[in-house]
């Protein structure tokens, strides 16, 4: 079994540096925001945080490849760091504190690339979550001051809390009726969005969540945390891991039910 302690420690160092950079510009009156070709916003803080992480990785792990949201892919090899410098940029630029830096390490194995380390750092919420394959999932201020994460034991959709990001993507997939059915059938729905629902699943405060359109950097870190907390993270196609372009996550007990409503084979 590989030992990911060193990678986890490095991930925390990277997250510390990113937190300092992003918090310094959060709510800055002169924050520069541009629109990317896909019409989503990117701020100077997104770019600065990713450059910072890439620079530190270049020094600490020169052989590892890197994929980041803002500056694309570089390097090749069996180990690849996946970076989303600010997940929740729209929140960030509007002064909403729900955003995080996502850092994951993926490793090539027999079944393709899988995420083995994940750190989700949300400094404006004063929260950080992390996990490594085989080591469990944790939240806390630091590696030494941490609480173990466990998913909930809710076993019925009628008792479940369901988190989602928005309705438009489900409408585009032709799944809005199923989405509304699930919303009516479960106990509670809340549109927390972005990284947060996955962390709540890992903590046991939310039971199911799904998003219809995502990139690898949105999911890689979240997937490790959910899995190591005892949950399940797949695409809407039911395939494990963060490779499907969308996500379904749960406490494990409700996963088949969730895919029954929103999965690719569901009607």
- pLDDT tens readout for residues 147-167: 999 999 999 999 999 999 889
Contact 120, 102 (CB under 8 A): yes
Residue with tokens 């750092």: 121
Contact 137, 129 (CB under 8 A): yes
Q: What would the pLDDT profile of 218-249 be if each residue is shown by its tens digit?
A: 999 999 999 999 999 999 999 999 999 999 99
Q: What would the pLDDT profile of 188-199 be if each residue is shown by its tens digit?
A: 999 998 999 999
Report the pLDDT value the prediction gives residue 27, as an integer from 0 to 100. Answer: 80
φ/ψ of residue 213, rounded to 5: -150, 115
Report the pLDDT value the prediction gives residue 94, as an integer from 0 to 100. Answer: 85
Nearest alpha carbon to residue 224 among 164, 155, 128, 135: 135
Nearest alpha carbon to residue 132 among 218, 227, 67: 227
At 173, the pLDDT band (50, 70, 90 cuts) reads very high
């Amino acid at each position: 079994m590989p030992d990911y302690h060193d990678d986890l420690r490095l991930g925390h160092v990277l997250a510390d540096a990113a937190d300092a950079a992003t918090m310094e510009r959060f709510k800055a009156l002169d924050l520069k925001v541009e629109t990317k070709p896909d019409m989503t916003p990117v701020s100077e803080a997104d770019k600065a945080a990713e450059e910072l992480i890439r620079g530190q990785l270049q020094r600490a792990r020169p052989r590892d490849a890197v994929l980041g949201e803002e500056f694309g892919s570089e390097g090749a090899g069996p180990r690849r760091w996946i970076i989303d410098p600010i997940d929740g940029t729209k929140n960030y630029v509007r002064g909403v504190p729900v955003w995080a830096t996502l850092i994951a390490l993926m490793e090539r194995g027999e079944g393709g690339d899988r995420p083995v380390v994940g750190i989700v750092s949300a400094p404006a919420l004063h929260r950080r979550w992390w996990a490594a394959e085989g080591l469990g999932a944790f939240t806390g201020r630091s590696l030494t001051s941490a609480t173990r994460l466990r998913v909930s034991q809710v076993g019925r959709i009628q008792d479940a809390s369901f988190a989602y990001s928005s309705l438009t993507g489900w409408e585009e997939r032709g799944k809005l009726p199923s989405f509304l059915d699930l919303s009516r059938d479960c106990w509670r729905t809340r549109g927390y969005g972005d990284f947060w629902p996955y962390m709540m699943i890992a903590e046991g405060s939310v039971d199911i969540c799904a998003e219809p359109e995502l990139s690898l950097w949105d999911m890689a870190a979240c997937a490790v945390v959910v899995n190591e907390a005892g949950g399940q993270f797949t695409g809407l196609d039911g395939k494990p891991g963060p490779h499907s372009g969308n996500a379904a996550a749960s406490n494990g007990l409700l996963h088949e039910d969730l895919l029954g409503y929103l999965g690719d084979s569901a009607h």
